Structure 1
Amino acid sequence: MVHIKLTVNSMVLIFLLIRTVGVFCRDLSEKDRNLRAKYIQKLLNKQKKYEGRIKLTGGPNMYEGNVYVFHAGRWGAVCDDSWDNQAATVVCRTFNKTGVATVGSQYGNATEKFWLDDVICQGDETSLSRCAFNRWGASDCKGDEAAGVKCLNKTDTLSLKKRKTRGKKLHEVLDLKKTGIRLVGGSDYSEGRVEIYHNGTWGSICPEAWSFYEATTVCQHLDMGYAEEALITFKYGFSNIILSGVQCEGNERSLFQCRHRQFGNVGCKSEKGHVAAVVCTQKLADLILDTITIERTAHLQDVTMYMLQCAMEENCLSRTAYEIQKHNQDWQYETRRLLRFTASSFNGGNAEFRPYLPKHLWQWHMCHMHYHSMEVFAIFDVMDKNGVKVAEGHKASFCLEDNTCLPGVDKKYSCKNYGDQGISVNCSDVYMYNIDCQWVDVTDVQPGDYTFKVAVNPHARVAEQSYHNNAATCRLRLTDSYATVFGCKLGRPYP
């Protein structure tokens, strides 16, 4: 019986195959061919028309929600890694508004695959696809890491900024003799949701804008070392939220020295059940930028675009370079002016600095013939006297290794032969000025005095003991023939 069924099924499949071949192989009239061609072209035009379009979902109105972008015939989410107000402004320009960024899937978990990750915008791009980002579809993000925006009128944005700057420090509104802080729900004493004791009860913290800066302060407050993870989660349980808008510099010894927006009966737009949580540790890496090396090595170099083709594939030049490539058939002979410099990052912590991605997720870049373990390891900004960014660059860590070490310390990490990447304790990773992308394209910057900022691990993707030595803020004097960088001071990647 089974044999008969198999025979019948085979005959049916053969019949359908013959019929299908007959349909596709028969001669078509000129009219049919034209109709079919028009139909296919219509589909292609429709896809091209929607390519790069943006939509917001999950919000209370059309100007607020998680960001989705259309690419290759389908919608995809945007990961909140590196997501900031400049990227939000690019999105909201679609609605002729300015934008405020949201993170942590504030408007619900992502329902589509992630198209974009590590998006870095200058703020004046015409679309998100014009910003720097990982290649399309390359993301390690989970559903609760969707990026979103609140698109506001300019007056609304100004009032929002004023509310943020008016936030008082917690010790100014609390009676510290009757207030406490603890971690609850973890597998041991060093992890859990953060709770505040006030008016005879314990309550949680709203996780909006919760970052390593706040988490580090909590661990310091509890004398538990440093923050290994800053979590927005429900896995440690939930209690009534009594504090929101916490904003720390990251170098406070007490959470009560941080500013806040509301205390008591607060509103929190985070997903229900999600609260602020931390995982503390006594051992972490700590990268320290060498300011003297930056000052000594900074210089200008004019290079033809023919020599920069690999760098262009990694978005290492300013937008005008790509416009020239698009509209000028002899673009290879055009030149770009590059501010080159050497950056040395010393690990002064008590643990190794390792990439956040596991080795099997590193990305192979064919042109340079190397793996990227962190898509954005460093960023470089040139700003005018008003703090407006006039040029920027970024450096992917294609080779995170021990280039130099203190006496008595053996080198452990080397990128040769697909080796492990990292920076050992008391060793430095050095990016020489002659390496691709170790520059800022200043071709379009007018001569004058500027601020030059270099930051490593800028988005705190890898936990560190401190982020106040990750950035060097320097003075830059740019002329028609030379550039000089001086007066560098260490600080946070972002103010």
Structure 2
Amino acid sequence: MVQVKRIVNSIVLVFLLIRTVVVFSRDLSEKDRNSRAKYIQKLINKQKKYEGRIKLSGGPNRYEGNVYIYHAGRWGAVCDDSWDNQAATVVCKKYNKTGIATVGSKYGNATEKFWLDDVICQGDESSLSRCAFKRWGASDCKKDEAAGVKCLNGTNSSNLMRRKTRGKKLHEVLDIRNASMRLVGGRDFREGRVEIYHNGIWGSICPESWSFYEATTVCQHLDLGYAEEALITFKYGFSNIILSGVHCEGNEKSLFQCRHWEFGNVMCKSEKGHVAAVVCTQKLADLILDTTTIERTAHLQDAMMYMLQCAMEENCLSRSAYELKKNTRDWQYETRRLLRFTASSFNGGNAEFRPYLPKHLWQWHMCHMHYHSMEVFAIFDVLDENGVKVAEGHKASFCLEDNTCLPGVDKKYSCKNYGDQGISVNCSDVYMYNIDCQWVDVTDVQPGDYTFKVAVNPHARVAEQSYHNNAATCRLRLTDSYATVYDCQLGRPFI
């Protein structure tokens, strides 16, 4: 009996397959073909329309909940690793509000796969997908690690960021003659949670906005070299938090020279038990951006869009280019005006500069036939006289290698044959002006005088001795026929 049923089911399946083939292979009228083509195009357009869209889920209202982002035809969650108020601000922009970040699946466990992990935003990005992150779908997060936001009309991260810069310096509120600092709970004296001693008690630091800049200052203060890691953790233990909102430039010799929000009985929005911690080291890389090369090589080029299709896959053109592609039939023959230049990054430290992602997580890019080892290695901005960004670019570090080295130094890193990527001590990685995405799309920028900014390792994802030689701030004169970049000055990345 079972055998008979199987034979009958097989016959029915074959009949359905034959009928399906007949239906889809029959001759169609021009009207039917056009109708099906429009339907398929409608589905494609719908997917493009939703790409990068954000929704909040699980909260008590539409302005609060876990964050989900739409990509490749489906919704996905965001992991709370590195999630902070700057990222929350980007999410809440769609509601014309500002935001506070939540972690630990505050609004329920994630119901979809994780699309984003280790998201780092400056706060002024147009969408969450423009922030730095590992790569789409690369996450080891569990369902109880979903990132969320609470969107508000009043004070939040944007206002807190402004308060950081105008808050008082620590030495103005502390009696530094009786104050001290130490690392506690680590395996040795070079690591641990950061504690401040004041008025007879030791207390920890709230880890909100804790970054390599603050960690570097701590290591300098304790004469322990440089910050290898800036941690927000519970693994080194916990003590009463007495300091919040620490903000350092990264070149201070003492933490007491940094600014802060509150000292004493403070409210910390970080997850309970998590405090600011550091790991210090004597050996780190130190990238130095070559300003002369930028000035000498900067020039304009007009390029047809059919030559830029691979670059468009990496979002290396301005928004108007993608609108043109969507709305213009012969968009391939339209031209874009590109500000091209060469960027050379010299490692003047005492350790190699290596990508922060392990090799097995590098992303293969089919169009360019290469691997991305960092989601963003460099960013380029053009700003008007009011400091408003009018054009931007970025460079994924698909190939960190030793292009040139000082005499007597052997090249170690090469991208050929899936080789290891990095920059050796006393070697330079050089992105030539003729490489895809080594430009800013200035098609929509009016002629005039602007500020041009270039930064490598802009989000401080890889530890360095100093970040104050990672960015070049230059003058840019843009005309109808040429561009001139001049008077470049080294400084810290602009985040």
The residue number in structure 1 matching 2:278 is 278
CA–CA separation in structure 1 for the residues paired with 2:336 and 2:281: 46
- Alignment-mate amino acid for residue 480 of structure 1: D
- Alignment-mate amino acid for residue 75 of structure 1: G
Contact 1:372/1:397 (8 A) holds in 2: yes
**What SS does the corresponding residue of 1:449 show, helix, strand or coil?**
strand
- Alignment-mate amino acid for residue 253 of structure 1: K
Contact 1:251/1:466 (8 A) holds in 2: yes
The residue number in structure 2 matching 1:248 is 248
Question: In the alignment, is residue 98 of structure 1 matched against residue 60 of structure 2?
Answer: no
The residue number in structure 2 matching 1:177 is 177
- Alignment-mate amino acid for residue 479 of structure 2: T
Residue 54 of structure 1 and its aligned partner are, at CA, apart by: 2.6
Show CA shifts across 1:352-379 (max 9, x none). Answer: 0001111111111111111111120000
The residue number in structure 2 matching 1:137 is 136
- Alignment-mate amino acid for residue 320 of structure 2: T
The residue number in structure 1 matching 2:347 is 347
Residue 136 of structure 1 and its aligned partner are, at CA, apart by: 6.8
CA–CA separation in structure 2 for the residues paired with 1:305 and 1:18: 56
Question: Where does 1:190-205 land on structure 2 (aligned, <5 Å)?
Answer: 190-205=190-205
Question: Where does 1:298-337 land on structure 2 (aligned, <5 Å)?
Answer: 298-337=298-337
**What SS does the corresponding residue of 1:176 show, helix, strand or coil?**
coil
The residue number in structure 2 matching 1:402 is 402
CA–CA separation in structure 1 for the residues paired with 2:386 and 2:337: 23
- Alignment-mate amino acid for residue 220 of structure 2: Q
TM-score, normalising length from structure 2? Answer: 0.85
The residue number in structure 1 matching 2:187 is 187
CA–CA separation in structure 2 for the residues paired with 1:446 and 1:412: 44
CA–CA separation in structure 2 for the residues paired with 1:431 and 1:146: 37
The residue number in structure 1 matching 2:428 is 428
Indicate how the Cα distance of structure 1 residues 59 and 373 shifts in structure 2: closer, same or farther if over 3 A, else same: same
Indicate how the Cα distance of structure 1 residues 100 and 343 shifts in structure 2: closer, same or farther if over 3 A, else same: farther
Contact 1:106/1:270 (8 A) holds in 2: no
Indicate how the Cα distance of structure 1 residues 330 and 368 shifts in structure 2: closer, same or farther if over 3 A, else same: same
CA–CA separation in structure 2 for the residues paired with 1:293 and 1:450: 19
The residue number in structure 2 matching 1:438 is 438
Contact 2:58/2:108 (8 A) holds in 1: no
**What SS does the corresponding residue of 2:68 show, helix, strand or coil?**
strand
Question: In the alignment, is residue 454 of structure 1 matched against residue 450 of structure 2?
Answer: no
Structure 2: tracts of 5 or more residues without a match: 24-39
- Alignment-mate amino acid for residue 152 of structure 1: L
Indicate how the Cα distance of structure 1 residues 418 and 429 shifts in structure 2: closer, same or farther if over 3 A, else same: same
Show CA shifts across 1:152-204 (max 9, x none). Answer: 33787885455334311111111112211111111111111111112212111
Indicate how the Cα distance of structure 1 residues 146 and 456 shifts in structure 2: closer, same or farther if over 3 A, else same: farther
The residue number in structure 2 matching 1:76 is 77
- Alignment-mate amino acid for residue 434 of structure 2: N
**What SS does the corresponding residue of 1:177 show, helix, strand or coil?**
coil
Show CA shifts across 1:333-356 (max 9, x none). Answer: 000000000000000000000011
Contact 2:164/2:259 (8 A) holds in 1: no
Residue 241 of structure 1 and its aligned partner are, at CA, apart by: 0.8
Show CA shifts across 1:85-117 (max 9, x none). Answer: 4x645522332x233464876958973533135
Question: In the alignment, is residue 267 of structure 1 matched against residue 267 of structure 2?
Answer: yes
Show CA shifts across 1:320-344 (max 9, x none). Answer: 1111111112111000000000000
TM-score, normalising length from structure 1? Answer: 0.85
Contact 1:82/1:459 (8 A) holds in 2: no
Contact 2:378/2:455 (8 A) holds in 1: yes
CA–CA separation in structure 1 for the residues paired with 2:208 and 2:260: 11
Question: In the alignment, is residue 417 of structure 1 matched against residue 432 of structure 2?
Answer: no
Contact 1:108/1:271 (8 A) holds in 2: no
Contact 1:115/1:139 (8 A) holds in 2: yes
Indicate how the Cα distance of structure 1 residues 124 and 323 shifts in structure 2: closer, same or farther if over 3 A, else same: farther
The residue number in structure 2 matching 1:213 is 213
**What SS does the corresponding residue of 1:93 show, helix, strand or coil?**
helix
Contact 1:243/1:262 (8 A) holds in 2: yes
The residue number in structure 2 matching 1:4 is none
Contact 2:344/2:430 (8 A) holds in 1: yes
**What SS does the corresponding residue of 1:219 show, helix, strand or coil?**
helix
Contact 2:100/2:157 (8 A) holds in 1: no
Q: Percent identity?
A: 75
- Alignment-mate amino acid for residue 78 of structure 2: A
- Alignment-mate amino acid for residue 187 of structure 2: S
Indicate how the Cα distance of structure 1 residues 103 and 304 shifts in structure 2: closer, same or farther if over 3 A, else same: farther
Paired positions, count: 471
Contact 1:109/1:145 (8 A) holds in 2: no
